[in-house]
Amino acid sequence: MTTAPLEWIKSSYSGNGGQCVEWAPSDASATGVVPLRDSKNPNGPVLMFSTDAFAGLVALARAVEL
The pTM score is 0.74
The answer to whether the beta carbons of residues 41 and 59 sit under 8 Å apart is no
Note the pLDDT tens digit of each residue in 21-44.
899 999 888 899 999 999 889 899
**Looking at the predicted structure, is the pLDDT value of residue 61 above 60?**
yes
CA pair distance 56, 15, nearest whole angstrom: 24
32: left (phi over 0), alpha (psi -120 to 50) or beta: left
Measured at the alpha carbon of residue 36, what is the angle toward residues 58 and 41, in degrees to the nearest 5? Answer: 125
Cross-strand partners of 47: 36
Residue 1 banded pLDDT, cuts 50, 70, 90: very low
**Strand intervals (E) in 1-66:** 9-10, 21-23, 33-38, 46-50
